[in-house]
Amino acid sequence: MAIKNASFGIVLFAFCAVLSGCHHGDLKQHQGYIEGRFTYISSQVTGTLKTLPIERGDAIQKNDILFTLDKNPQSAAVNQAEAALQQAKATLANLEKGKRPTEIAAIEAQQKQLNAQLIYAKKMVDRYRDLSKKNLIEKATYDKSLADYDKLNAQLDEVNENLKTAQLQARPDEINAANANVQAAQSALKQAQWQLNQKTIRSPIMAEVYDLYYRVGENVPADHPVVSLLNVTNIFAIFYVPEEQLAPIKTGQKISISCDSCKTPITGTIYFISPQAEYTPPIIYSESSRGKLVYRVEAKLAANDAELLHPGQPIEVTYGAGN
């Protein structure tokens, strides 16, 4: 007899649930289901799926590797960008410190040689001046020695200026341009490294692997999900309430959830009530509810309770008008 009464109670409860609302005193009951908001993981660059070390249903931790893509051509691009940065830095350093020491030494040697030649040329000018005054040599010989002396002086002035220039840094505009090239090379390297990092994708959350959409060896387009994850905090309950029963329901209200596999009722908290009515969904479709407008209500669950439930699982929701 106890079994028969229990069976009758189950039939009555199911009948009430299908009608989308059944009263037991101050209690109301509705049929609903469990839903999950999934986290879809993709890479922002395309590539061949290289490794997939996870399976559906695996429990993963934050930062666990989900999948990797073939690292080429991004790996080659990083090497190229690193070489370009080194070249830009070398050019800047060269401009900042002027000419090489060996080039400066060569100019200084030329300076010493001209100084020695000038000393000799000055002696010749003084000698020829005296001889010219005594008419012992032609005046043209004296004039030539004087011209040679002036020429050496001009050459020494030029060498002195070259030495000053060699010891100076490059012009400010050249250094600024070299600095800009270094910054551009650094940005190019960062971009190449970011693209290379997109070939190894890690989990952003602790979750369960819900589904896989590609296999190793397949080409994965950019921004196409490879894995979907489900965290227990994203599992929630949905049920639908007819308009005439909507008024007593409010956010923050507690509900009781039961299911075929639930040993004891689970408590949920209403956090969303749809502002717009919709037709009764197929999961609670019946002759009596057909054409009725209902409002979607969502309730969040405690993490330890959410672990016991699965998206798509049918549930029965019970709540009291005074809750």
Cα–Cα dist 28/21, whole Å: 6
Domains of the chain by start residue, with CATH: 2-39+231-320 (2.40.30.170)
Cα–Cα dist 223/3, whole Å: 55
Cα–Cα dist 171/173, whole Å: 6
Burial zone of 28 (CB within 10 Å; 0-12 exposed, 13-18 middle, 19+ buried): buried
* pLDDT tens, residue by residue, 165-224: 666 555 677 778 888 989 999 999 999 999 999 999 999 999 999 999 999 999 999 999
Q: What is the helix (H) or strand (E) element at residue 186, kind and residue range?
A: helix 172-197
Q: To the nearest whole percent, how much of the chain has pLDDT over 70?
A: 83
Q: What is the helix (H) or strand (E) element at residue 140, kind and residue range?
A: helix 139-167
126, 129, 134, 138: CA torsion to nearest 10: 130
* pLDDT tens, residue by residue, 1-32: 333 333 333 333 333 443 344 545 567 888 89
For position 94, what pLDDT does the model report?
74
Which segments in the chain show pLDDT lower than 70? 1-26, 97-100, 165-171, 280-291, 321-323
Cα–Cα dist 258/159, whole Å: 98
Quick count: other Cβ atoms within 10 Å of Cβ 303? Answer: 11
For position 6, what pLDDT does the model report?
33
CB 220 within 8 A of CB 226: yes
For position 169, what pLDDT does the model report?
58
CB 17 within 8 A of CB 284: yes
pTM check: above 0.85: no
Cα–Cα dist 289/199, whole Å: 51
CB 95 within 8 A of CB 169: yes
